[in-house]
Amino acid sequence: MRVLCIETSSPAGGVAITEDGILCAELIVNSTETYSRRLLASVESLFAQLNLGWNDLGGIAVCTGPGSFTGIRIGIATAKGLALALGSGLTGVSSLDALAVNASGLDENAVIAPVMDAKRGQIYTALYEFHPDAEPFRLCEPMAIKPDVISSLFPSDRRVFVLGNGIHLLNAPELQSRNRKIIFLPEQFSFIRPWTLGLLAHQRNGFEHGCDIDSIDAMYLRPSDAELNRKV
């Protein structure tokens, strides 16, 4: 199945097209311009590269967060609209799941901890392990926590690969002094690749329910800034 992948949870998001979980083409744009202005133009650019059209799609995989509240809303709304118009399958994938894929294959016995900057002095994270030829297995549910809490989640008897744009919020020297098995991956591992949404959707048979619009919800994990400001 040919799948359009939409990742708008981070500033460096983008789109990709996969076929049976294999990357066909991908476009990533790190821009201050809102996704509402560049998202569909990016898709059209991919179509032009691959000589495809909207009717060549069999499904759409969209990132459901956590991440940018506005970006997530734009991505999900666009994906739902396209799925309804095309009558295609639709599935959602967590940004943390997709980010964890970046560290797959490094050590199948290790724990992977994607860390995203949640603003307001918090991080989004979850723990994963990978098995050969399988999707990431969550060891705990995604959460929004204070950075200094994360060390309590890490096992002491396994290597832990930490990656993501929230690493700068962690006290890396202190964490590594407590646990020498913690390894902070370099910046090139910190960006969500849009095509991994198609990979995970394929591994999970994410389109078996067809165009189930109501099942796709945003994963925010914390109140928005607007909601927090109203409470002040």
Please write the tens of the pLDDT for every residue from 102-126.
999 899 899 999 999 999 999 999 9
- Minimal CA–CA distance to 15: which of 192, 215, 217? 192
Within the chain, which residue ranges are assigned CATH 3.30.420.40? 2-95+192-231, 97-189
Q: Per the omega criterion (within 30 degrees of 0), is the bond before 66 cis?
A: yes
- Which CATH class name applies to 97-189? alpha beta
Burial-class residue 1 by CB neighbours within 10 Å (0-12, 13-18, 19+).
middle
Mean predicted confidence (pLDDT) in 162-187:
94
* Tokens (6 digits) for 225: 């800034």
* Contact present, 141 and 219 (Cβ < 8 Å): no
Give the pLDDT of residue 48: 97
Strands annotated E in 10-121? 14-19, 22-28, 59-65, 89-94, 111-119
Answer positive or negative: Cα dihedral of 63, 64, 67, 73. positive
Confidence of residue 67 (pLDDT cuts 50, 70, 90): very high
| Cβ atoms < 10 Å from Cβ of 172 | 12
- Minimal CA–CA distance to 64: which of 215, 195, 218, 207? 218
Buried b (16+ CB within 10 A) or exposed e, 2-31: bbbbbbbbbbebbbbbbeeeebbbbbbbee
- 2-95+192-231: what fold? Nucleotidyltransferase; domain 5 (3.30.420)
Give the pLDDT of residue 224: 66
The alpha-helical segments, DSSP class H, found in 111-191 are 172-178
Segment 144-159, tens digit of pLDDT: 999 999 999 999 899 9
Segment 19-57, tens digit of pLDDT: 999 999 999 987 767 787 789 999 999 999 999 999 999
| Cβ atoms < 10 Å from Cβ of 34 | 12
Percent of the chain with pLDDT over 90: 78
Q: How far is CA 52 from CA 5, 44, 48, 49, 188, in A?
A: 15, 9, 7, 8, 30
Answer positive or negative: Cα dihedral of 149, 155, 157, 159. negative
pLDDT over 70 (residue 63): yes
